[in-house]
């Protein structure tokens, strides 16, 4: 079958049902035959729905594919983007102590009039026109410390001057070199060979891979107190975006769990995806706010927190149902969610009034009621059979929308709840890029280090810090989540 006309198939099935009802009313079809025909038609309806879904190709516009392949969703944004205060980013733009900016001003004088040649040296200045050249001068700084060695004439004891604590060996690299290398490895995801080549071209020394890995673990350990502070700030937040994605570690599949709120992003690695991992990470079990997620069943296991479902996921799934079966209820539901999101985004309060929310609930339930009549009925489980009965994606989505009405519409009731879970998905995307570049992590400790370091760099980026400055702050033990 090259193509299928959905409407004509369903019209034919409806005609057959009407004909059976007419024949039954005329007494030409027995009750047993009528029951058999109805059962067959129910199975045909279900097979048609599933067949059409199988023939519809899923993409990032109509399904919940991995976040690294998902386009940025703009449905929850207002037409006029909110203005960002420039002072916060400017405040944190100051470089670290081992960086400097040399700024000079040259005056181009006007001595004579270009038209008549009049002497203008003593004429009052009207204004300036400035043009600026910005350049980088690569400079390697070498600081030697010579410790004096003296022999006591009385006891002949050899005495030596004390070196600074950061000079543990004959030759050390400073914070600038470490920050530059770590930024390339973690934030820019450059390979070890290229990092070594870049460093050699800048400082004339080739740093070994083992030393670079030591820097990664050093930063990982230095950020342990920061991670504790980040967890406490997440637990105090009103809304938290959560998600998870796979990552290959030592030839096995692990999962990166992300927790995002405000300026904080925290990623944790675990071999499992579901409730076991969430319990061991122990952030969601202690959280009492609203968690925004993609309807993974494990998130509903925690009674202390409230749930909000990602509208972007639901819109894509509704689009797939429309593409495959062209159900009216799915088209109407998608339009309702889109219009409600736009209405909430355009308001200063970022929520609906009580009577408006009640009207939204009424429309939502009416759509699901009409959808129940439009979907094919579920077959009865045969006696003695075990396991789940097959259902179409449309039926599963309808059940989910009906069971989690409050979680779907919470964005319209509470101003702090977003319509989508895109924040958590964006925070995970670079991890997927890292996996494509590196293939996998050979040891779990380096995967854990990547999660912690990338969490810190993303959090500091939200506060306006560039990664070089942020890494130097961490290595010097000067990070402070309250400084932003």
Residue 233 lies in a domain: yes
What domain range is 35 assigned to? 6-51
Q: How many domains does the chain have?
A: 2
Query: Are 305 and 287 in contact, with CB atoms under 8 Å apart?
Result: yes
pLDDT class for 373, splitting at 50, 70, 90?
A: confident
Look at residue 287 and tell me if it is in a domain. yes
**Interatomic CA distance for residues 149 and 157, integer angstroms:** 10
Assess whether pLDDT exceeds 80 at residue 18. Answer: no
Rounded to the nearest integer, the mean pLDDT of the chain is 84
* 107 occurs within a structural domain: no
How far from chain centre, in Å, is Cα 324? 29
Residue 63 lies in a domain: no
Only one residue has tokens 């879904």, namely 53
Give the model's pLDDT for residue 68: 46
What single DSSP character describes residue 230? Answer: H
Q: Which residues contact 425 (CB under 8 A, 6 or more apart)?
A: 67, 70, 243
Residue 456 lies in a domain: yes
Residue at 195 is within a domain:
no
How much is the pTM?
A: 0.76
pLDDT at 19: 73
pLDDT at residue 476, rounded to an integer:
87
pLDDT digits (tens, 9 = 90+) for 116-152: 888 888 888 888 888 888 877 677 788 898 888 889 8
Both structure tokens of 227 = 């991670």
Tallying the residues shown for the chain, one arrives at 484
65/69 Cα distance (integer angstroms): 7
pLDDT in tens, 210-263: 999 999 999 999 999 999 999 999 999 999 999 999 999 988 999 999 999 999
Of all residues in the chain, the percent with pLDDT exceeding 90 is: 47
pLDDT tier at 168, thresholds 50, 70, 90: confident
Digit-coded pLDDT (tens) for 281-339: 999 999 999 999 999 999 999 999 999 999 999 999 999 889 888 889 999 999 999 99
In this prediction, residues 396-410 reach a mean pLDDT of 95
Q: What whole-number distance in Å separates Cα of residue 344 and Cα of residue 351? A: 5
The CA distance from 309 to 404, in Å, is 8
Token pair 């339009």 is found at 335
Rounded-to-integer distance, Cα 21 and Cα 383, Å: 27
pLDDT bucket at 5, cuts 50 / 70 / 90: low
Q: Does a structural domain hold residue 89? A: no
pLDDT digits (tens, 9 = 90+) for 247-258: 999 889 999 999
Residue 191 in this model has a pLDDT that exceeds 80: yes
Residue 161 has pLDDT above 50, yes or no: yes
């Amino acid at each position: 079958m090259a193509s299928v006309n959905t409407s004509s198939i369903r019209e034919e099935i409806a005609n057959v049902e009407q004909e059976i009802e007419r024949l039954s009313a005329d007494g030409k079809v027995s009750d047993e035959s009528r029951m058999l025909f109805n059962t067959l038609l129910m199975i045909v309806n279900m097979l048609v729905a599933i067949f059409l879904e199988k023939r519809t190709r899923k993409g990032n516009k109509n399904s919940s594919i991995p976040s690294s392949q998902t386009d940025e969703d703009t449905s929850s944004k207002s037409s006029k983007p909110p203005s960002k205060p420039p002072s916060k980013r400017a405040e944190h733009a100051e470089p670290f102590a081992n960086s400097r900016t040399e700024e000079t001003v040259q005056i181009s004088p006007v001595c004579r009039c270009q038209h008549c040649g009049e002497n203008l040296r003593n004429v009052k200045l009207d204004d300036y026109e400035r043009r600026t050249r910005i350049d980088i001068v690569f400079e390697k700084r070498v600081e030697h410390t010579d410790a004096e060695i003296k022999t006591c004439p009385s006891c002949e004891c050899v005495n030596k001057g004390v070196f600074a604590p950061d000079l543990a060996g004959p030759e050390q690299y400073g914070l600038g070199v470490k920050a530059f290398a770590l930024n390339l490895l973690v934030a820019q995801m450059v390979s070890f060979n290229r990092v070594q080549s870049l460093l050699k071209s800048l400082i004339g020394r080739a740093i070994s891979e083992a030393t670079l890995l030591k820097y990664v673990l050093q930063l990982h350990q230095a950020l342990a107190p920061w991670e504790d502070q980040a967890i406490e700030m997440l637990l105090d937040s009103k809304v938290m975006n959560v998600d998870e994605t796979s990552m290959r570690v030592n030839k096995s599949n692990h999962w990166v769990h992300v927790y995002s709120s405000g300026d904080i992003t925290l990623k944790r690695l675990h071999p499992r995806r579901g409730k076991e991992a969430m319990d061991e990470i122990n952030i969601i079990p202690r959280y009492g706010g609203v968690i925004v997620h993609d309807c993974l069943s494990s998130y509903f296991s925690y009674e202390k927190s409230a749930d909000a479902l990602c509208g972007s996921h639901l819109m894509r799934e509704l689009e797939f149902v429309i593409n495959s079966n062209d159900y009216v209820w799915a088209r109407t539901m998608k339009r309702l969610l889109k219009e409600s999101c736009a209405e909430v985004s355009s308001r200063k309060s970022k929520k609906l009034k009580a009577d408006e929310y009640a009207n939204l609930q009424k429309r939502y339930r009416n759509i699901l009621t009409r959808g129940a009549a439009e979907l094919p009925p579920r077959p009865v489980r045969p006696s003695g059979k075990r396991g789940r009965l097959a259902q179409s994606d449309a039926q599963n989505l309808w059940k989910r929308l009906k069971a989690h009405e409050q979680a779907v519409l919470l964005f319209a009731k509470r101003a702090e709840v977003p319509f989508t879970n895109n924040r958590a998905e964006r925070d995970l995307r670079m991890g997927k890029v890292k996996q494509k570049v590196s293939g996998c992590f050979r040891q779990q400790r380096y995967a854990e280090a990547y999660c912690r370091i990338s969490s810190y760099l993303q959090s500091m980026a939200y506060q306006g810090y560039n990664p070089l400055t942020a890494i130097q702050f961490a290595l010097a033990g000067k990070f402070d989540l309250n400084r932003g």
